[in-house]
Copies of this chain bind each other. A is one copy, B any other.
């Protein structure tokens, strides 16, 4: 059983590759939930949904979010009612949020709700929220503190970031089966997701980092950065705000206590020595996943490193 740590877009691509190349039922995916937020009174879990839609074969891979072929009739009407429409909620996607919100209000945990949604979509991989408690990534900008979705989607990651924090992280607990899955894993994959706002919150959940340090299973990471830029999203800006350099090597250093092997792009081959000085083995590959072929190949390469 392989444990996969992931955020949304970048991680979901590698997870697609893994699910196509191997039996998805052997994947336990621990998802970031610090981006979760409320909109129009609905509970939205963007990373869980992205991963779930990808595994269900519903994702819009060109766009990177939402359901393929979804329509936006409800959102247009919500706009007429004066609701903010900066977060693109499709009609089918809305059904996910309506169902989640209903079940949460009935007292179910996010992990139970996720099980319910995945079962309905015949997703056989296990998707676990990092925690069932409320954690919220807060982004401190020159104009004050805002939520991650506000920063990332509404303001299109334009504001300068001073600091990122995870409100609620100290008192949250890992969701059921998270620690157990890590302890029983035969391999751990840290996806090419944002180290500050996707993987960072997962590792900050009390007990998760310790469990990953303790696991005898190989831990393989894939860089979300090629050269000086993130493959997608604001990893670059956020790493700099956290006082770190924005590079594959700097990402490896974030996970230095965990990684057995780190996969970087051929373009970053000159970082190999630097990373290896932290005791991490480095594999260079083509890590940009533009096509189905790329996703499948990178998935096979990562699994080969686990099985080495």
**Copies in the assembly, this chain:** 2
Smallest Cβ distance from A66 to chain B, in angstroms?
12
Within 8 A of B (CB), among A72-129: 73-78, 80-83, 90-92, 94-96, 98-99, 101-102, 105, 116-117, 120-121
| Pair A81/B116 contact, Cβ less than 8 Å | yes
Q: Tell me, in angstroms, the Cα distance from A91 to B81 when the chains sit together.
A: 14
| Pair A95/B77 contact, Cβ less than 8 Å | yes
| Pair A77/B102 contact, Cβ less than 8 Å | no
**What B residues does A75 contact at CB under 8 A?**
95
The contact of A102 among B41, B71, B105, by CB within 8 Å, is B41
Total interface residues in chain A, CB < 8 Å? 30
With CB as the reference atom, state the residue of chain B lying closest to A42: B98
- The yes or no answer to A143 lying at the interface (CB within 8 A) is no
The contact of A120 among B81, B117, B121, by CB within 8 Å, is B81
| Pair A91/B73 contact, Cβ less than 8 Å | yes
Q: Tell me, in angstroms, the Cα distance from A120 to B73 when the chains sit together.
A: 16
Q: A74-B98, A94-B74 are in contact. Are A80 and B41 (CB under 8 A)?
A: no
With CB as the reference atom, state the residue of chain B lying closest to A73: B91
Q: A70-B73, A71-B73, A73-B71 are in contact. Are A81 and B95 (CB under 8 A)?
A: yes
Q: Which residues of A contact B (CB under 8 A)?
A: 40-42, 70-71, 73-78, 80-83, 90-92, 94-96, 98-99, 101-102, 105, 116-117, 120-121
